[in-house]
């Protein structure tokens, strides 16, 4: 978990089953667990499996952990964002296409070597890099 000046924070992907897609689960995170969220990406479809990519912030680690436990009890599957976007360095030709379209700055170019670098901690899992990579060196698991 990342410690922020305003508490503990982590980027996560919430997977909702078709049975719980319409429950006020995120509302309860705010109201009952005093957590702050920032939605980074979402696909919520009626009566279908859905997902929500968010940054979740709690004042303390205990508050954050209680909210995560509530999500699990509610039937929500949780993944850290870092596991969802995969950069395949061995496939990459270091063209820089990902750098030009990455809104979070997760992809950068080392100017001394002109090689691409990927920082999964900055990734918001928007998947623009997946569509923009001409050699398919970036994959997403959402």
For the segment 56-80, what is each residue's pLDDT rounded down to a tens digit? Answer: 999 999 999 999 999 999 999 998 8
pLDDT digit string, tens, across residues 5-28: 458 888 888 999 999 988 999 999
d(CA 110, CA 8): 30
CA dist., res. 61 & res. 7, Å (int) = 7
More reliable by pLDDT, 94 or 43: 94
- How is domain 2-82 classified at the architecture level of CATH? 2-Layer Sandwich (3.30)
**2-82 and 84-140: same fold?**
yes
How far is Cα 105 from Cα 50, in angstroms, rounded to an integer?
26
CATH number of 84-140: 3.30.70.20
Q: Any idea where the domains of the chain sit in the sequence?
A: 2-82, 84-140
CA separation, residue 75 to residues 14, 31, 82, 89, 109 (Å): 10, 19, 21, 35, 40
């Amino acid at each position: 978990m990342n410690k922020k000046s305003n508490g503990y924070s982590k980027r996560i992907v919430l997977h909702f089953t078709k049975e719980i897609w319409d429950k006020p689960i995120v509302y309860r995170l705010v109201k009952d667990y005093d957590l702050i969220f920032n939605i980074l990406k979402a696909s919520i479809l009626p009566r279908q499996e859905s997902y929500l990519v968010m940054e979740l912030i709690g004042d303390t680690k205990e508050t954050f952990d209680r909210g995560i436990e509530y999500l699990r009890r509610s039937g929500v599957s949780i993944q850290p964002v870092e596991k969802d976007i995969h950069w395949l360095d061995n496939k990459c030709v270091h063209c820089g296409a990902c750098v030009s379209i990455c809104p979070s700055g997760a992809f950068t170019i080392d100017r001394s070597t002109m090689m691409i670098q990927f920082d999964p901690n900055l990734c918001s899992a928007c998947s623009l890099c997946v569509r923009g990579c001409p050699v398919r060196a970036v994959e997403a698991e959402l």
